[in-house]
Amino acid sequence: MFDYYRLLLGPVAARNVLLENAYLLFDDDLQFPTQNYVPMGHVHCIFGMPVMLDSGELLDSFVAAAKAQVQSSVAAPVAEAVSTAMPSLRTLGKIALGGAQMVLAQGAVNPFQSCSNPQLSCHNTTVVENLCCFNAPGGQLLQTQFWDTHPVTGPVDSWTLHGLWPDRCDGTYDANCDSSRSYSNISAILKSFGADDTLSFMQTYWKDYKGQDESFWYHEWAKHGTCISTLEPECYTEHKPTEEVVDYFNRAVSLFKTLPSYEWLAAAGITPSSSQTYTFQAIQDALAAKRPGVEVTLGCKSGELNEIWYHYDVRGSLQTGEFVPANPDGTKSTCPKTGIKYLPKGGSQPPATSTTVGGPAPTSTSAPGAPFSGRGFLNVEIGGAKKGCIISKGTWYTTGTCATFTATELDDGFTLKSSKGNCGIVGGALTCDASVSSGTGFTAVDGSLAAGGNAVWSADKAASGSTQVPVYAGGDHAQQFALTWQSA
């Protein structure tokens, strides 16, 4: 019986060890064949880096994870145990690091998995198995931009980068999908992989309006980046911890550089002004001239243009795939049809009256997210009249007690939760239960609940008596209605 057994972790570069493979050694009472095991003294390699036997909790936690997996498959042939029962590097890393937020790996980004004949996301008719070559469920990627005037953020003649977001092809989205990879040291990660040019660009064009750039980048990666399937660690041939972070920010920056919103709008005569206003269609047409056949999502706050979302479907992975311009996936613009203000950065607020290019005076919009906060009820309204409410599973009911929901604020909306669990849009239907791992990010439009910017909800029929009726996002079903908030 050997004092140590070696669990094959995989090939590593010869510069790390003089052997062909790296091994994790641990005491155990299991027996393995003696061939192909070479004593390595007191030096072990984890992820291709030398680690001493007495390196403490990190090695101990790797050992515990590996032993549990191998013991559970002791009856299987050794080769099969190594190939099928051995915990993945990602699993071991999560256990050993305990969800650590400060992780760093040196060197260049490793090759990404090769994808032959990749499909276009959001256009598949059958299930795609390899999600390293196909973005799902977040199949539509949104490159989002800010125009912040109070306080002024970024260059006065450029929009700034907001993020790169995966949507579920229907306007809904997942968020914060992997807490173990919610890395907070974004600048250090980029520097460690030699992405200094990307970081330098971000320091000018990917700005937080409060000046907290590092926290902003962390938020965008943790909330959106961790939900992109092609950035999963197993998609890399020899994954180094955090290298997917570099790919996320590199792609977001390179995509932003192809979308000079300020220049495109100016070419159509749409420039920041304290007096002139613009129509929704004029802004859409100016941007469509550079991206024929597709529209963008325009975001306004109090009638002021402050966001543009460019939508893409992707043929292949985020890292190496083709970004194909697409129409919005269900997300709705929040700007009025006329009277849109496009204020200059650093300029004064517009006067009380102003002229509008292409239409009459501006219309008002409600504050994003209001009034959904704290605990409350979701009422069903048809023609302004209450017709029952939503119960804890997310269905429409007209008798009995309404469920209490908790609204938790996000930076660009809120999530909802009932006693059954998180609420999300699953298969197009409002669903609240324990299977919804990360709730949908909802917003409010004119005081009504909205999914993907759309405040219309529908059902196959109106609820009555003790019948519970499924509720669907959008107006595709026979009975349409609104969902409004009543504070508990």
Residue numbers annotated as active site: 162, 220, 224
Any idea which residue has 């979302």 for tokens? 309
End-to-end CA distance of the chain: 67
Of 443, 455, 280, 453, nearest to 368 by C-alpha is: 443
Output the DSSP codes for 432-457.
Answer: ESTT-SS---EEEETTEEEETTB--E
Three-class secondary structure of residue 480 per DSSP: strand
Any idea which residue has 């180094």 for tokens? 240
Output the DSSP codes for 324-364.
Answer: EE---SS----S-SS-EE-PPTTPPPPPSS-EETTSSS---
Q: In angstroms, what CA-CA distances link 223 with 169, 179, 357, 439, 446?
A: 17, 9, 38, 12, 26
Any idea which residue has 């515990």 for tokens? 64
Three-class secondary structure of residue 38 per DSSP: coil
Burial (CB count within 10 angstroms: exposed 0-12, middle 13-18, buried 19+), residue 447:
middle
Q: Are 191 and 143 in contact (CB under 8 A)?
A: no
Q: In angstroms, what CA-CA distances link 33 with 5, 22, 450?
A: 10, 18, 61
Output the DSSP codes for 372-432.
Answer: --EEEEEEEEETTEEEEEE-TTS-EESSSPPPPEEEEEETTEEEEEETTEEEEEETTEEEE
Burial (CB count within 10 angstroms: exposed 0-12, middle 13-18, buried 19+), residue 408:
middle
Of 147, 146, 148, 149, nearest to 348 by C-alpha is: 149
